[in-house]
Structure 1
C-alpha cells in the first residue's frame, strides 16, 4: 500500500517506505527491555495495555493529517507491539509442558506465518479502496485481542518483587545474548534476504512484481504448513540441534537461490527456506524459554536482536550484492553455516 499511502500525503512511494522504518526501529529498540518490564508489571496486564495502545496508535494513523504525524503514530504502534510479542511467548513457555514446548511453539509459528503471509494480501485489498481501512481493521483486531487477553501469570509473581535492575541483568546474561546473536544471524541471513532474492529475480530473470511476490510468498506458505511438524521434531531432536539443522539448511538454500539457473528452482529453494526458518526460530525460542527465571525479559532481548539482525541485513549485504552478486549470497550462507554454531550456547540437560 506504499504507493497509495504516498499519494494520499503527497510524497513518493520511496518516502512512504519510511513508515516501515518508523515502525520497526522503536519496535526492536523497546523490545530489548519490554519483556523485563512486563514481567515486573504483570504479564497479562501489560499485554492488554499493549493491545490497547496499539488500538490508539492505529486510530492515530487513520486520522493523521500530515505524513510526519503518520510516522509518529507508526512509531507508537511499534512501541505498543513491543510489549506484546515477548510476553506472549513467555506466557506460552509458562503454559506448555516442557516436553511439548516445541510443539506449542510450532503452533505459534504456524499462526505467525499465516499472519505474515496473509497480511500483504489483505492490506493490498484494503488499499484498493482506502489504505486507512487496513489500519482501522488492525485496530479492531487489537481491541478484540485485548478483550480476550492471555492466561493468568502467577508464575511471574516473584519478578514483581525484584528490583528492575536485577531483572534486566538476568535478561542480559551471556547465555541469552548468545542465543540472541544466533537469532540475529539466522533472521538477517535467511528471511532478511528476501529483498535480495527479489533483486536477483528482477535482474536475472526480468520478472514482474507479481511473479516476484509469488516466489517470496513461497517461504511463508511453506512455513505455515510445516511449523507444527517442525515444532514436534524440535521436541524429539533437541532445541540446539534444531537451530543447527535450520542454519545448515538455510545456508544451502541461500547458495541455491544465488546460483540456481531457473525460476522454478529458485521458488522451490526459497520455499525450503521457509521450513529452515521455522526450524531455526522454533529452536531459538525453545532454548530461551527453557529458563525458569525472567522468561519475558530473556525472550525480549532475543527477539529484539532477531529483528535488529533483519534490519541490518539490507545495509550489510546490498553493497556486497551490487559489487559481486554471487558473493552477496555466499557470505550470508557462510555466516549461517559457521557463525551460528560458533555463537550458540550448549543446551542444558534436563
Structure 2
C-alpha cells in the first residue's frame, strides 16, 4: 500500500491532527532534552558534585543514543508508530522518575541515560513518520518546522527555568516534575490521535524486508556522505559552541555581551531554518542549499577570526543564516536517500549513531587542539571541515 493510498484512507482533518500531534511531540522532546541548561548550579549543589562529575550527566544521553540508535531504527521500521512513540515517552518518563527520586548522583545520571534513550526512540519514530506522511514537495519545510519546535524549548527553558527558580522559588525537581507531566500528556495525545495500524514508513502494512533490503541502507554512498558531513556540522554547531563565547571575550567583548551576541545566531537561525526549508521545497533542491550552507559556515568562521570585535555581528549574521539550513535539510534528505519509505527510520537512526560517535570523538580532539595550538588555528581547521562537508554533499548525487 503506497503512501498516497494511506492519505486517501485518512481524511485531511485526520492527517492534520496526526501532524499536529507529531509537532507537539517534538516540542515535548525539546523540553526534555534541554532541561539541564539553567539547572547546573542547582544540580551540583543538590548532590554535592563538581563540574567534572556533571560532565557525565551531560554525556549520558549521547551514550544512550550511541548504544541504541541503529537498533531503534530497525524497531521503528517493524513496529506501528503509535507503539514506538508511546514506548519512547514511557521509557523517558521512567527515567525522569529515577531522577526525581534519586538519592545519589550516579542514579540520577542513570535516570538521565534511560530518559535520553526513550526520547531518542520517540523523536526518531516521530521524525520518520512525519517525513513519510507529508507530500514529497513539502518535506523540506516540515522537517525544518519539526526541528524548530524541538529547538525552541531550549530558549524557553533557559529563560523560563531561571525565572521559575530565582523568582518563583521553585526547585529544579519541581520543574522536572512539570516535564514529566508533558511526557504523560504526549503519551495520552498519541494514544488518541495516531492510528494503531500506521507505521513509520507512512503505510498501513509492510512485508518483512529481506536481508539484502535490510543491509541496503549501509551500502548507500549518499547516506554515508551526508552522515560524515553532519559530523562536521555538529562539530561547529555543538562542540565549538562551548568555546565560541570565550573566544569572543578574548577578542574584547564583555562576558555578558558575548553570551547575548552568540544567542542571536540561534534566534536568526530559527527563522533561517524555516525560510530555507520553504525555499528548498519551492526550488526542488536540497543539495545546492546545503552546499552553500557549509561554504557560508566556513566564511563565517574566517570572519570570526579576522574581523575586529566591533564587527562580530558579521559572523553572527552569516553563521545564523545559510548554515542553519543544514540541520533541517539533512533530516529532510532521508526521504531521498532511502530507496523505499520503510528505510527512512533506519537512515535517520544511522545518522544519529554516526553523528553522536563522531561528535563525541571530535569534541575531545577539538579541546586538545585549542589547548595546544590556540583558538585561531582551531577555528581555521573548523572552517576546513565545513568546506569538506560541502564537498561531501556535492558527491551525494542521490539527493536533488
TM-score normalized with structure 2 length: 0.79
CA contact (8 A) 1:96 1:104 kept: yes
Given the alignment of the two structures, is residue 101 of structure 1 paired with residue 139 of structure 2, yes or no?
Answer: yes
Match of 1:211 in 2: 257
Task: After superposing the two structures, state which structure 1 stretch, 67-76 or 116-125, moved more.
Answer: 116-125
In the aligned structure 2, how far is the partner of 1:11 from the partner of 1:139? 24
CA contact (8 A) 1:33 1:168 kept: no
Match of 2:361 in 1: 312
Match of 2:187 in 1: 146
Secondary structure of 1:178's match? Answer: helix
Secondary structure of 1:17's match? Answer: helix
Q: CA deviation at 1:339?
A: 4.2
Unaligned runs of 5+ in 2: 1-38
1:171-250 alignment, distance < 5 Å: 171-174=217-220, 175-205=222-252, 207-208=254-255, 210-235=256-281, 236=283, 238-250=285-297
The 1:40–1:228 alpha-carbon spacing in structure 2 relative to 1, beyond 3 Å, is: same
The 1:69–1:271 alpha-carbon spacing in structure 2 relative to 1, beyond 3 Å, is: farther
Match of 1:161 in 2: 208
CA contact (8 A) 1:103 1:232 kept: yes
In the aligned structure 2, how far is the partner of 1:92 from the partner of 1:303? 17
CA contact (8 A) 1:259 1:326 kept: no
Deviations 1:120-144 (A, max 9, x none): 2233334443111232122111111
Aligned equivalent of 1:135, options 176, 188, 191: 176
Aligned equivalent of 1:112, options 150, 154, 169: 150
Aligned equivalent of 1:283, options 304, 329, 335: 329
1:336-347 alignment, distance < 5 Å: 336-342=386-392, 345-347=395-397
After superposition, the CA RMSD in angstroms is: 2.4
The 1:27–1:127 alpha-carbon spacing in structure 2 relative to 1, beyond 3 Å, is: farther
CA contact (8 A) 2:95 2:114 kept: yes
CA contact (8 A) 2:143 2:328 kept: yes
CA contact (8 A) 2:226 2:396 kept: no
Aligned equivalent of 1:301, options 329, 347, 350: 350
Structure number with bigger Rg = 2
The 1:196–1:313 alpha-carbon spacing in structure 2 relative to 1, beyond 3 Å, is: farther
The 1:2–1:41 alpha-carbon spacing in structure 2 relative to 1, beyond 3 Å, is: same
Q: CA deviation at 1:343?
A: 5.9
In the aligned structure 1, how far is the partner of 2:135 from the partner of 2:181? 32
Q: CA deviation at 1:13?
A: 3.0
| Structure 1 moving runs of 4+ over 4 Å | 156-160, 165-168
Secondary structure of 1:84's match? Answer: helix
CA contact (8 A) 2:140 2:277 kept: yes
Secondary structure of 1:347's match? Answer: coil
Given the alignment of the two structures, is residue 31 of structure 1 paired with residue 78 of structure 2, yes or no?
Answer: no
Match of 1:331 in 2: 381
